[in-house]
Amino acid sequence: MLRLGPGIIARRVGAEGGYDVLEVFIGPQHPASGHMRLIVRLDGDVIVSVDPDIGYVHRTMEKLAETREYVRIIPLLERMTIIDSCNVTLPLVEAMETLLGVEPPPRSVYLRTLLCEVNRIASHLYGLGIGSVMLNHSTMYMWAFGDREVWLTIAERLTGARLTHTYILPGGVRRDMPQGLRDDIEKACRYMERRLKEYEKIFLRNPVVESRLSGVGVLKASRAIELGVVGPNLRASGVRYDVRMTGYAAYGDIGFEPVVGSEGDCLERIRVRIEEIKASISIIRGLLKQMPEGPFFSERFTRLLPPKLRRIVEEEGRIKLPGMYVRLRPRNGRVIRRGEAARGEITYYLEARGGFKPYRVRVVTPSARNVVLFRELPPGHRLMDLPAIYASIDYFPPEADR
């Protein structure tokens, strides 16, 4: 440590790549670091290297999952991304269904997809809000969070919970769509489309915002593929890849075209998310139009209910589960299932070796795959670009740490 008289600290870390660097610790107790620490090495105002120090919210979710019965894993794992809880548990439930040999009824598949898209919109709005307040654009922050509330209300009316819905279960969904929700969803879609135009005016085409975002943190398509980046960050670089293209859940029926950008800079990443909100709205409209009638939970479980309870399930549109449902015992085997969460591809590996609990649950989350961008993008940029890059990656630490 080198002390230049009283009061000044100049900790020389030594030379790095020929530069004398100053080390700045941003986080974990920092207004804009999230649950992580960024070790930034600066040469003057220019970033030499960034070392993302993750793991502050590691909750041993994979290990905990081995100690729980199958159904009880869902509420556990959806807490790793509570703002996107339906998307992150859908592949897990599908994996369980594969091992159990249960086929969810078509209506429940549509309802799942509907909630996934509602989640995606809410999650993108969350990312947009956090991202804009990192640039100190408080209006966009408040607008995005205020409008996110619309979609949370829709989710609440569908599932009963704002965030941790635990809506999808092996065999179907917990509740049928309530009456009148269809019209309200359409109203919400129209409202959102109107608001997106205003977002465009105050944020995307704001000259100050543009100067902060465009040309900053450019990620080339080839490099994005090399690094294994997923989600909107990948598509903003011009790579046409989205797990929804494989047509899981009801995406195959609806027909889906991914939103692909070209520039690969911060502005493009945020623009891709906003375009994805539009795409999600059109998917929601398609789902509502084509939604089939019928049961919302697999007959295999509902017929185990006593007749009186079964009638209540049919009348009220909400499932009453038989007690044995906790003790599901799938066949032995290994399954890998993927899905497209709001932040990108999420992959589950589920291994069952008898018993009521899984032998192994492995989950690779999109944020865990995108965190490498913190190391890749900022070097060479100014310190003030770091929040802009953070904002555009839409990184969610609890999701990466699990």
Among 165, 212, 271, 273, binds another protein (CB under 8 A): 212
Q: Quickly count: other Cβ atoms within 10 Å of residue 246's Cβ.
A: 13
The amino acid at residue 79 is R
Q: CB of 250 within 8 A of CB of 287?
A: yes
Q: CB of 172 within 8 A of CB of 81?
A: no
Among 31, 101, 180, 307, binds another protein (CB under 8 A): 31
* Region of 101-109, 132-140, 302-310, 313-321 interacting with another protein (CB under 8 A): 132-140
Instruction: Name the strand (E) or helix (H) holding 211.
Output: helix 207-213
* Region of 107-115, 134-142, 176-184, 243-251 interacting with another protein (CB under 8 A): 134-142
Binding to another protein by residue 133, rule CB under 8 A?
A: yes
Among 104, 387, 397, 398, binds another protein (CB under 8 A): 387
Report the C-alpha gap between 47 and 45 in whole angstroms. Answer: 7
Binding to another protein by residue 39, rule CB under 8 A?
A: no
Binding to another protein by residue 211, rule CB under 8 A?
A: yes
Among 185, 209, 328, 342, binds another protein (CB under 8 A): 209
Report the C-alpha gap between 314 and 126 in whole angstroms. Answer: 36
Binding to another protein by residue 239, rule CB under 8 A?
A: no
Q: CB of 199 within 8 A of CB of 274?
A: yes
Residues contacting another protein: total by CB under 8 A: 36
Closest to another protein by CB, 137 or 175: 137
* Region of 64-72, 208-216, 267-275, 354-362 interacting with another protein (CB under 8 A): 208-216
Binding to another protein by residue 64, rule CB under 8 A?
A: no
Binding to another protein by residue 1, rule CB under 8 A?
A: no
Q: Which long-range contacts (CB under 8 A, 24 or more apart) does 61-67 make?
A: 61/363, 61/402, 62/360, 62/361, 62/362, 62/363, 62/402, 65/358, 65/361, 66/357, 66/358, 66/359, 66/360, 66/361, 67/357
28 φ/ψ angles, rounded to the nearest 5 degrees = -75, -10
Binding to another protein by residue 30, rule CB under 8 A?
A: yes
Site residues (CB under 8 A) for another protein? 6-9, 22, 24, 26, 30-32, 45, 132-143, 146, 202, 206, 208-209, 211-212, 382-387
